[in-house]
Each structure stands twice: as structure tokens, then as C-alpha cells.
Chain A
Amino acid sequence: MRVPFEWLKEFIDIKESPHDVAHRLTMIGLEVEAVEQVGSDDVVFEVNVTPNRPDCLSIIGIARELSASYKTPVVFPEHDVLAETGELDFNVDIVDAELCHRYAGRVVRNLKIGHSPEWLRKRLEKCSIRSINNIVDVTNYVLLELGHPLHAFDLKTIKGCRIIVGTPNRVKGQGTRIKFRTLDNIEREIPEESLLIWDAERPIAIAGVMGGMETEVSDSTVDIFIESAYFDPVSVRRTSKALGLKTESSYRFERGTDIKMLKKALDRAAYLMKEVAGGTICGKIDIYPKRYKPDEINVRYNKVNETLGLKLTKEEIADCLDGLGFEMKKSVNSLKIKPPAYRRDIKREIDVIEEVARIYGYDRIPAQLPKATIGIDSQWSGVKSQELKIKNNIKESFLKSGFTEVINYSFMGLQDIDLLGINGDDERRNLVQIKNPLKTEDSFMRTTLIPSFIKNLVQNLSHGNRELRLFEIARVFISSQLSVASSQLPIEREHLAAIYYKEKGKALYRDDTPDFYIVKGVIEAILNNLRIYDYSFVRSSEPFLHPGQSADIFIGSQLPVASRQSVKTGYVGALSPAIVDSLDIKAHKPSVIVMEIDIDSIIPYAMQVVKYRPLPRYPYIERDTAIVVDSLLEAEMLMKWLKSYPSDLIEDTYIFDVYQGKNIPEGKKSIAFNVRYRASDRTLKDDEIDALHKSLVDYILDKTKGQLRT
């Protein structure tokens, strides 16, 4: 809302500077967002009026607020129609009184349509309203001044001296389809619930939103009919939304106008029209079927103080409210209040308490820390929940492993999931669709974080980065199967995903560890840090991963069941070369490792309590052995067999070398492993362990169908 300072001063005698007045307005809840110098002699306030205060969408409204704050009276603009001639042989019929509580109108004859005088044009311009002609300008002027929307019809275009206010449903019967050309020259289909103004034959305006083309005031207009009415806010809002048509009128009607002001507005407009366009003011009509009756609100003095944390006296409280136009009756413990018609936001005691605080001044209320109950309930202990701790732990681990955190939008497009080759049965196809996305490629909520990472990769590599380590913790959204019922919320799961890329060749220090193992290592380190040891990596069949360099991750008792994606915790692997090739990346055949884990599914395994184990008291004996086995034998199989050997003297085993090449037959590989033996109750003897180790090696050779490497 734009408020020219000189206009404002017409209604209230202010001595303060514009800057001080702007500050005063801000501090009573009418935030002045900007003070704009207009010409050499005026400033305009840009006032941010909150939706609950439609009464402040006018110069007089702002003046009223200043009056309550400065305790200075408001001067109301001249609106007395001194002379009116003739009867109004108009018949107004309100069919839907629920939607139109009051309808008034007045005829002005023999007007000279033309340009508005400069003072009028200037004021409209300051408020960013374009001058059209003196009649339309006056209706807009009164709208700005008093906050009440008016509409002027060309009288001779209204057929049958009749006005009907009603919806197409009520006026023309159920299911009537109405097409109507509004004065912006657009033909609109009118919803049957929308309130219209009709003459004897047809609709002539969309109530509270916009008038019609055919009844518009034009250069040839001589007589006019001015409408000033109160329309139901919800009805106007629905119509405005349905038509996608927002006007200065609809903006005010949908917030609520002053039903008592409308007659004054009507007279003020007639008075001004006579001034600027000549003419004679004729009689008026005023149908008021639904009278405004404010409820009496009981405001307890102690409730005011209890809410605000103040110790105001009865007089101080009444004094704050004085000037807000309330009818007040004082009693011993409370005030009985009736708000004026323009304050429909005041309905309850708390609304009045807010008024006290506002006028008293928020800055005068002391800041005091509460005397709070200290919680002993673990849910309210003031520490982050265990879950948040685990998430933080994971995040810290990634940061320390050199991964930088990203935050991507939660959106993706169909093409993203198509690119990954995720098929129809996969739950990542159970998409949550946004009805009104900003872009079609952002129409769905992510079911996997990988598409975002692919974009991050392409974008960052285009800037010449030689390596990239990124991770994100964010939710994915899986539409629940039952979501046909539109009130079924999707399943939200917290995912952790990461991407790793490093340019080959250029490195000061050689490290030829395949990238896959680097990322797998990070995952294992994190799992171990959470004291999760019971996990397995199983060759993955994710369609977007390199089949030879990818693994699904299973934790705890989760069994690798290929057909059931949902039991797995996540995956890690090289992005399929087919996908990488399709990306706009300069690097030649880059290896890009991605991983994604469902954090929610690992949290239960991470919550274990730590229990101390005594340190071993006797020394260990180690043996190393290399065996030659089929090159397809996976390390995990060998580890499993080593673990399955029945001896409680085996403390630990690990693979320390895998070799293929010279001296090893084609199709075979050499695996070297170390076994550490220890007894908890004695020192082991070498010959005892020689025998045990030989037996273990025989067992392994039998299982692996391998041979001892010589």
C-alpha cells in the first residue's frame, strides 16, 4: 500500500517528520518498507499491510492508526451530498444475501467525461494507479482514500432499471454456464458459484472483482450508476482465484471491507464527481439485508497482564485501546468491548490483548527469561536424540574422509529416473508428483539422490575440477501404494549419498587403488565407527551401475534377496559407462563412483551399547599362507570359509595380497592371507600351531579347490 505523506496529513495533524512517522507506523505493526521521495515536496510510504488489517488499505485507515498511537483526532473527508435531485427509480434485488450483505447505489446525471484535474491525477500516480477518466479516477480515488471499492456503470447500458445480485445458480438455475466479457476485454467463463451483478437481462459485473465491458463508463457516457456494496470475503476470494483475476477491489473485498463506510464512500464519490465532472447527484438506494452486529468481547485485565508479562492498571489498559474506535464498558475485572465494523479481525479476547500490546509498544515490554520447568522426561532432556547423534557421526566421518556436503533441491524429473534405467516395479518409481511445479524437470520428489549428484558432477567438472568428493544427507519420498486416497502421505526416508571422481594420472604420489575400493573403504570405516561389523557387500544388479564394480550393502540379519530391493541398505559402485558417456563431461572414460545408503535402516544397528572386553594376556602366533585359486573366487567367500573353520584359537584373519600375472596360470589368482592364533588361557606352542595351521590350510584348499602357492 502506497501512502503519500501530504494526503495522509489531510486527515491527521502530524508535526513529526516523515521519517519519524514511518518509524511510528512500523512500530505499531504497519511496516514501512520504503520511504520514497516523490517530486520535491512529497514522500510516499510503502506500507506492508498484513492480511488481517484490510482496514489499513486506505489513507484514512493509516490515519486512524496514527490517531490511536499519537492520540490525535482524525478529520474525515468532506462527503456530504448537500443537494440531491430526483427519485431513483431503480429496483435492487439481492438474491444471495449471504454473499452480499449490503448493496447501495446512486445515480449521477449529466456528467462531462474527460481528463481528471491535475491534483487528482497526481495523487493516483503517487499510488501507482493510472488515470483513465474523471469518473473512473474518482472511484479509484475513493478506494485509496477510504478503502472502499466502488464501481461506476454507464447508466444507459443497464437494462430495465434493475439490479440483481446473485450467483448464476440462483439467478438462472443450477448448472447455468455464463460467459462474460470483463472490462479488460477478456471473455471469461464464470463459475456457477460466483456472485454476479445483473441487470434485467444479463450479468453486468463480477461482484467485487471487475465490471463488464458492455456497461463500462466511456467518453460518450452521460449518466452513471455508482455501486457501493459489501460482498462476502470468501465468495470474492473464490471467484478471484477461480478466474485468476486479482484487482484492487478483490484484494480489499476478500480481506473484508467496512460495511458501515460504504455509504460514506458512495456519497464521497458522488460529491467528487460533481466537483470534477459537473452533473447532478440524484437519489440513492441502500439495501442492507444482513446487518453488522459485533459480539461483545470480555477482556480480563489480569489476562492482559498474564499474557504480556506486564503489570498494567485498568486505566492504562483502557488508555491503550482508546482511539481504536472500540465501544468500551469498564467493569471491575474486565472491559466489555465492541469493535467497529472495520475491525472484523477483532473477535476474541486475545485479539484485544494484541491491540493493547501494539499500542503500548512491544519495545516497552521487558525481555525476561522464563522460569521453566526442568524436564526429567528423557524426551525432553535438552540433548539431541540418539538418532541425531548417529546422523551427525556419519556426517562428521564423511567430512573427515574429504567429502564436501551439498544440499540439492528435493525435486527431480521423469527423465532422471529414466536415465538411471530404473524400471516399473522398483519402488523408486512410486513417485510423488507436484501438481504445480516451477519446471517440468522438477515435477517429482526425489526417490533417489543420485540424479542430483550427476548434475553436480557435470557442473563441477565443467569448471575444471580434477576431483570431486560430495555427499548429501536428505530425504527421499516414496509414494505409498495406498496413495490413491489423496490424504495418504508418502514414506519419507533419510538417505545418505555420495559421489567420487578423481582424474587419473596426475598425482604427486602414486596410489593405484581402484576408486571403487576407496569409496567402499569410506563406507566400511563409517560402519565400523558406528560399531556395525555385521554387514556384507554383494554384487549389485542396480541398472545404473557397472556390473563388475558395484555392490549392494546388507546390514545385520538382512538377507541378500535379489528380488526384494527394499531389504538392502544401499549400494556402492561405478556409474555405468553408458550413463557416463551420455553426460557432457570432457574427461575420457572417467570412473565415477556413487553410493547411497538408507540411514534410517542402519540406525537400529548403530544403537548398541558398548561393553568392555578384557585385553588378551597371552601372546599370539601368526602364519601367512598364499594359495592359488580360480580367479572368480571372491574374497568374501574365502573369508567366510576361514571363519567357518572350527577352532577357537583363531583370533583374526585377513587377506593381505591378491595377485594375478607372471608365474600364476591363466584364470587363476594367488591370494595370501594371514591368520593370528591366540589362546585365552595359555601360551601357544609353535608345533601345536604348525599342525593347526596345516589342517586349516588343507580345509581351505579343499573348499576353494585351490593349491598352495609354491
Chain B
Amino acid sequence: MSYMEDPKQTFLEELKSVKNLADLANIKVKYLGKKGIITSELKSLSKVPPEERPLYGKKINEIKQFIETELDLQESRLKQEELKKQLLSESLDITLNGKFIPFGKEHPINKVLSEVTDIFVKMGFSVEEGPEVELDYYNFEALNIPKDHPARDMQDTFYISDDIVLRTHTSPVQVRVMEKRKPPVRFIAPGKVYRCDADITHTPMFHQVEGLMVDRGITFSNLKGVLVAFLHQMFGADTPVRFRPSFFPFTEPSAEVDIGCILCNGTGCRVCKGSGWLEILGAGMVNPRVFEHVGYDPEEYSGFAFGMGIERIAMLKYSIDDIRLFFENDIRFLRQF
């Protein structure tokens, strides 16, 4: 038997020419495979004279270890190179736009409506609804606006029949709720209302939020407390608020509520017509006549009601000067909110 020549030199030469993992695998087979040079040499170790066997065996094993180490090293080098190549080939122009569908936008009116609603819900008001096509009785009569009363001129009404109208305000919900429920009641009623009027500050449909609170011992002072709290939450804690006498047939005393003009800070501008104040709410103590219609005893219970136009608040908030924009639904407008 002849001793194997040390193959390291040849191996290293061959290793140098390796270009990829496949070449590397071939070399691995050539040396370490079942019939590989090193494997064969180890198998034929028995043919070596016993006295030389330990030394020679040790030598072969050293060579084997050397080859294995070199192969591993080379393999990880190659793998890294290939990964590099893959990464390079998979590289994207990360400055191109991502693929997405932009979220839709809530309509500005509903945005403001939710804001208003949330404040009152936090104060313990529930949310109620009523029909938009309403009986004359609920829209007018029960609210102390009899037929042939000049107060009817305050609202231009769309008629369906002599007894049915498109509700001109959300106030009929007051009556509907009180008819069903005993005091205490505390709710708001947001919704659409209709008046036959159309110009830069009027649309035939718009949105209101009505509010009602009835309990024992509710005072005008409480009306002010709740509405000031609301307005401060809505427009900022240092917004000036003023209450002045007004007239609504279903409340008495009635009040118009103004806030200091949020555009000019009360110094006077086009929007507040130089007065420094903006009309924002109508309110008042529930007229005993309304209580009589729903069977509440005005000697036992008292309460206040209020109502506000959402378009007006939205117009002030976003500096919109034409109310009709809200209902044209031009997405160039809607996407701004």
C-alpha cells in the first residue's frame, strides 16, 4: 500500500476556482463523499501496518478537518455573496408611492355633529331621534305654535298635506320623547330639518341638534350652566358667552346665546357684522304650555330646551362662506376635512 500524497495543495487550488455553491458541492463530494479521496483513504486504513496506523490515521483526520473547515468557510462566503446578489436584484425604488386606498373623509357636517353629540353624551344626555316627515301637531301645535299664529312665519314650511310637514326644526322630538317618558329626561336629538328657503346662507335642508333636560328644580341658571359648559368645550374655555332675551313659542323665558366672534376675537368683522358676537344657540325654559300638552305638571317639573344649527357652527369653524357647498358634495371640498 502506498501512502497518500498530501492533497491539501491540490484541494486549495481547486477551492480557488469554485464560483458557486454547486462547484463547492462537487469538491465536497470529491474529497468527503462516500467514495471521496479522504473517505476512501480512511476506509483503507486497515491496510496500513498496525504500527504506522495511529500516526497515519491522525494525519488523514487532520487533512479531513482542514478540508471541512475550508469548505465551511468557503460555503458561508459564497452564501453571503449570493445573498448580496439576491438583495441587489430585489432592490426597489422605495421612493415610488405605496399602494393604498386613502381613507374616506367624514362629511364636515357630521364631523361637527359628532363633536356636539359627544360633549352632551359626556354630560349624561342620551341621543334620540324623530321622524323627518312630521305631523303639524308635533312640529307646531304641541310646541305652542297654533295655526294662524305669526310665529309660523319664523319658519318657511314645506307641506306634504294640511296635517303633515317636513319638520322645520328638531324640537318636535321634545314632545315625542316627553309623551313616552316620565321625568327626569335628559337627551339631545340631532337630525335633518327642512325649510323652503335657498340662498347663500340658507339651504332647504340643514341639520340641528335639539336638547332637553327636565327634572325637579331645573332653573334658568342651570340652562346657562349647561350651555356655557358646552360652548367652552366646543370653542375653548375662554370663549365669551352671552345670553340675551328672545322669543320661541315653546320656551319661556327664551334666550338667544351668542359667543364672542371666533374670527375677530370680538373686535368686529364681516362675519359678526361688526358686533363682535355670533349667534350660536336658541334656548329657554320649557313653556308650561308644552308640559301641558305632554301631561307633565309644570308645578312639579321644570326644564330647559335648546337648539342649534350645525351648518352655522361648521361654517364658523372652517371659515366656509357659502352654505350650499355642504350639499354639492364636490370631493375637492369634502377631502379637505
A residues near B (Cβ < 8 Å) are 26-29, 31, 33-34, 50-53, 233-234, 237-238, 254-255, 306-310, 348, 350-351, 353-354, 357-358, 362-363, 365-375, 379-385, 388, 395, 398-411, 432-438, 442, 445, 456, 459-460, 463, 465, 468-471, 474-475, 477, 486-487, 489-490, 492, 508-509
Contacts and interface: CB of A to CB of B under 8 A. Distances in A.
B226 to A, nearest CB: 6
B221 A367 contact: yes
B244 A27 contact: yes
Contacts of B227: 367
Contact of A350 (B154, B226, B288, B335): B288
A374 B164 contact: no
Contact of B220 (A308, A410, A508): A308
A465 B331 contact: yes
B110 A438 contact: no
Q: B107, B198, B244: which has the most chain A beta carbons within 10 Å?
A: B244
B196 to A, nearest CB: 6
22 contacts: A29-B247, A307-B253, A308-B253, A350-B252, A350-B288, A357-B253, A358-B253, A362-B253, A362-B255, A363-B242, A366-B221, A372-B124, A380-B184, A384-B117, A385-B127, A401-B101, A408-B329, A411-B204, A442-B204, A463-B332, A469-B101, A477-B132
Given A31-B246, A372-B124, A307 B285 contact: yes
Give the interface size class of chain B: 35 or more
Contacts of B148: 234, 237-238
B104 A469 contact: yes
Contacts, number: 254
A365 B244 CA distance: 11
B109 interface: yes
B41 interface: no
Given A29-B244, A357-B253, 20 more contacts: A33-B273, A50-B247, A238-B148, A309-B219, A309-B220, A354-B253, A362-B242, A362-B253, A363-B243, A369-B229, A373-B215, A383-B126, A402-B103, A402-B104, A404-B104, A406-B329, A407-B107, A409-B327, A410-B192, A436-B159
Interface of B: 96-97, 99, 101-107, 109-110, 117, 121-127, 131-135, 148-151, 153-154, 158-164, 166, 181, 184-187, 192, 194, 196, 198, 203-205, 213, 215, 217-222, 224-229, 242-247, 249, 252-256, 273, 285, 287-288, 302, 326-332, 334-335
Nearest to B277: A26
A31 B245 CA distance: 9
Contact of B244 (A31, A33, A369, A395): A31
Given A369-B226, A399-B105, A469-B104, A436 B184 contact: no
Nearest to A30: B245
Contacts of B194: 410
B124 A375 contact: yes
Contacts of B327: 407-409
Contacts of A237: 148-150
The 8 closest A-B pairs by CB, nearest first: A309-B221, A309-B219, A29-B245, A50-B247, A402-B101, A486-B161, A367-B224, A354-B253
Nearest to B222: A370
B76 to A, nearest CB: 35
A463 B330 contact: yes
Contacts of B221: 308-310, 365-368
Nearest to A366: B221
Nearest to B122: A382
Contacts of A456: 329
A29 B246 contact: yes
Given A307-B220, A370-B215, A407 B329 contact: yes
B218 A370 contact: yes
B109 A407 contact: yes
A383 B151 CA distance: 35
A29 B249 CA distance: 15
A432 B244 contact: no
Contact of B331 (A51, A382, A438, A470): A470
B242 to A, nearest CB: 6
